[in-house]
Amino acid sequence: MSLIAFDFDGTLSDSEMTVLLARRAGAADEVAEITERAMNDELSYAESLYQRAELLSGLDEELVDAAFDEVALRPGAGALIERLQAEGHHVAVLTGGFERGVERALAKQGVEADTIVANRLPMEGGKLTGAAEGPLIEGTKDDALAALADDLGVPMAETVAVGDGANDLPMLEVAGAAIGFVPKDAVRPVCDAVVASMFRLGKVFEGYDVLPAE
């Protein structure tokens, strides 16, 4: 068994959850700018998430639900997760994004991740408080990957990490194999392979003997 850890926003999904929420809060441009700066490693991830969450303060629960309903997996992502699980691999989603969006996108494709480590946007009185909480704000994905590998008894050499942005760098650096999904410039140098589609990602998994050739 290998442990395959995916980032979500920008990797398994081309949706950017905070942007979908921000459109409904009338703060899309500000949030997109903060997101871009964080992904290019110009701003710490924690700082960027707290800033974006603050811009969403007061957003109504109904609008939050509508935004999470828009989150979707990339074409072929659901089928690839199923292939990995059928071979006995543990599929994890390690994301600075939000649990509700991840769960809904997976459910729409009829798949489940074995583990989801994600953040949350707390609500009070049916509205977002403007705060953010969860393990991957101050915590980093290398620690999350190492802890999960330890729990599963999987050596780090048998882990694969797939991501695109600066907050994926820690897990890409410690994983047995690091795959960039259309990675940002700051991320590309640490990647063992770079792909731009789920089809190509499947082929890379075949090349690493993670999956049998189709």
Burial (CB count within 10 angstroms: exposed 0-12, middle 13-18, buried 19+), residue 131:
middle
34/94 Cα distance (integer angstroms)? 20
57/26 Cα distance (integer angstroms)? 11
Query: Average pLDDT of the chain?
Result: 96
Given this model, what pLDDT does residue 131 score?
Answer: 97
Task: Tell me the backbone φ, ψ of residue 109, rounded to 5 degrees.
Answer: -95, 0
164, 208, 212: which is closest to 12 by C-alpha?
Answer: 164
57/9 Cα distance (integer angstroms)? 21
pLDDT tier, 99 (very low <50, low <70, confident <90, very high otherwise):
very high
Prediction pTM value: 0.94
pLDDT, tens digit, 9 for 90 and up, residues 175-200: 999 999 999 998 999 999 999 999 99
pLDDT, tens digit, 9 for 90 and up, residues 108-138: 999 999 999 999 999 999 999 999 999 999 9
67/202 Cα distance (integer angstroms)? 29
Given this model, what pLDDT does residue 12 score?
Answer: 98
72/78 Cα distance (integer angstroms)? 10
Q: What are the catalytic residues? A: 7, 9
- Percent of the chain whose predicted confidence (pLDDT) is above 90: 91
C-beta separation of 44 from 73 below 8 A: no
pLDDT, tens digit, 9 for 90 and up, residues 33-70: 998 888 788 888 899 999 999 999 999 999 999 999 99
How many C-beta atoms lie closer than 10 Å to residue 65's C-beta?
Answer: 11
